[in-house]
Amino acid sequence: MTQSGELVSIITPAFKAARFVEDAIRSVLEQDYPHWEMLVVDDCSPDDTCERVAAWSSRDSRVKLIRQTQNGGPYAARNAALANSRGRYVAFLDSDDFWLSGKLSRQLQFMRATRAALSFTEFRRVSEDGSRIGRRLKVPSTLTYEELLGNTAIATSTVIVDREITGPFQMRKAYYDDFALWLELLRRGHVAHGLKDDLMRYRVVGRSVSRNKGRSAWNVWRTYREIEGLGVPRAAWCLLNYGVRGWLKYGRF
């Protein structure tokens, strides 16, 4: 167990999340590690996301609602949460995903044992209505910057970052702001550590933008070229590896 009082700031962007955000909140409330704050940032949702989060916040002050004044997308919502966060550790949980019990305590213990700047875990996908659970998606023990360039192993809602080791960070304005952040942190010389425990459920939402494979590939390419500054041959090689690993990972439920 981590030392008493080491706060975990949980970053949750939310847009039109009324159907699922309460499952995410419940999964945090059910953790056995009590030192956390959950910053849910509503990105101008047209549904009752705000009202649902506010109701939970009134019951437990560790759940904090932040309202954006204009829709800015996930990167802006995550940055708003980061700007208001107080924890040494930053955990990411998207509004349509949820954690399994013991996730925080087990992962924090693992991070202390490995002195990890960034850690991630195994997980399973779950269908939109929760009726179907997919196979266990395994992770490597470690990932360096070079290894991550062509890898899809890190699922955002499994990640915890230790800011005492990495120093401060912000999300970049990018389609895959999460992938860009992991690359930035590893480019600083850190290594990502994979915990081989199944601790998260990734909800497959039918209309999710990320399921458009052509658009996804284009935006990974832009990450390589515009953010990482890779030359065309190297970027092409990384994209090929990224695509093959993604197909192996998500080719079957």
Q: What is the pLDDT of residues 98-124, one digit of tens each?
A: 999 999 999 999 999 999 999 999 999
Predicted pLDDT at 5: 57
CB proximity list for 36: less than 8 A, separation 6 or greater: 7, 8, 9, 10, 28, 62, 87, 91, 104
The answer to whether the beta carbons of residues 30 and 5 sit under 8 Å apart is no
Residue with tokens 């649902």: 52
Predicted pLDDT at 4: 46
The answer to whether the beta carbons of residues 36 and 24 sit under 8 Å apart is no
Element (DSSP H or E) covering residue 181:
helix 177-187
Q: Where are the domains of the chain?
A: 8-208
Predicted pLDDT at 249: 83
Q: Distance (Å, rounded) from C-alpha 184 to C-alpha 98?
A: 26
Q: What residues in the chain have per-residue pLDDT under 50? A: 1-4, 209-210
Q: Distance (Å, rounded) from C-alpha 202 to C-alpha 195?
A: 16
Angstrom distances, CA of residue 143 to CA of 117, 152, 193, 203:
12, 11, 7, 24
Task: Give the ranges where 88-144 is alpha helix by DSSP (H).
Answer: 103-114
Predicted pLDDT at 207: 55
Q: Distance (Å, rounded) from C-alpha 133 to C-alpha 124?
A: 7
Please give the CATH topology (third level) of the domain spanning 8-208.
Answer: Spore Coat Polysaccharide Biosynthesis Protein SpsA; Chain A (3.90.550)
Backbone angles phi, psi at 198, to 5 degrees: -85, 105
